[in-house]
Amino acid sequence: MKFLPYGRQSISEADIAAVVETLRSDFLTTGPMVERFETALAETVGAKEAVVVANGTAALHLAVMSEELSPRCAVIVPAITFAASANCVAYCGAPVIFADVDPITGLMTDETFDDALKILERDYHGYRLGGVIPVHYAGRPVDLSHIREVCEEHGSFVIEDACHAIGTVGPQGPVGSCQSSTAACFSFHPVKTLTTGEGGAITTNDLALARRLRALRSHGIERDPAHFVGLHYDGEGDTGPWVYEQHCLGYNYRLPDINCALGLSQLKRLPEFAARRKALVAAYQAALAVTNIPVNWKCSEHDTVFHLFAVNIDFAALGTTRTTVMAGLRERGIGTQVHYAPVHRQPYWQTRALAQRDLPGADRFYQNTLSLPLYADMADDDPARVIQALSEVL
């Protein structure tokens, strides 16, 4: 039987043709496909602007960098996420305080956010809340109502880590529409719902922010003469058609036309991808309903496009280990993964995060979580096959 990885890309002949057409064009790096992809992405998620960048980490970095944090502006990040969600704050020289999560969904809740904020205000005098990075883990949306209200009171930002959540519609509308946030950051890695190979994007409704992000992704360079301040030469030395000005310290985080061509083609397939993932999740639910294996998986209250099908299993109570279960599934042709070890437990952060403490929800989630295969090209009966194999191994 074919091997089922936990996730993989879905590439069609139309995707290949789009990339080949771009390879035959005059532009391989920054060309017309960048703007076309940005326009289509913004329209898809309902935001005014989209800025595409090299990857999801670059998106998070530039979004936080644009906030110009001081070393006394602490940012709250949930402990269950990929390292980049916290690293992007450290890149900008600001401290992180980790919030606990719901032990079943892995999401930061209003209560765990409030707990982190109380500790910051009680124990860290001289610090202020710089912002919050809610993570829509596995594609499940975080309700931002309370977080947004608190951040408005503190003059703080909300930047959504939406790297798992393209296509999801949550309490505040489509993820990426930024109805309750400054910006939302996406990843288009091959295991995500849609891919550009590598790539990411920031969506926002702030036109000035989008302009600044475009400068930051390309060395801080300004090419529009209307915004020049002058190199202090006379005549064409300041105004020639070759002239550009560096206005800030930026990075080379551009996304090439080749990748954007693939992204634009994949974006047309997003409704298909979303429907397929929803059907596969429903098939998983049906398979779990007719078994008696102790697997905990919570349905979403919202219109969720799941990036991961991460179940909870109390391995210790079953007298086994996750390593044993993963090995047994691999023998049956089924790949799995663990998303993620809590970031506050990582050696780098153990000595650097503010308010280092036990986060029991994150620890419990990590100890019991297992990501089962979920990707668009799975067959209709693959979820039942996975659950049958899991039942045998357990």
Q: Active-site residues: which are they? A: 192
- Taking a C-beta distance cutoff of 8 angstroms, is the pair 263, 278 a contact? no
How remote is the C-alpha of 192 from its chain's centroid? 9
Q: Which two tokens stand for residue 124?
A: 């860290």
Other Cβ atoms within 10 Å of 89 Cβ, number:
27
Antiparallel, parallel or unpaired: β 309-313 and 369-372:
antiparallel
Using CA atoms, how far residue 270 sits from 10, 147, 203, 210, in Å, is 11, 29, 17, 24
**Residues 6 or more apart whose Cβ sits within 8 Å of residue 160:** 133, 134, 136, 142, 144, 175, 176, 178, 181, 183, 184, 185
Q: Residue 128 carries which side chain, given as an amino acid letter?
A: R
Q: What angle do CA 183, 119, 106 make, to 5 degrees?
A: 55
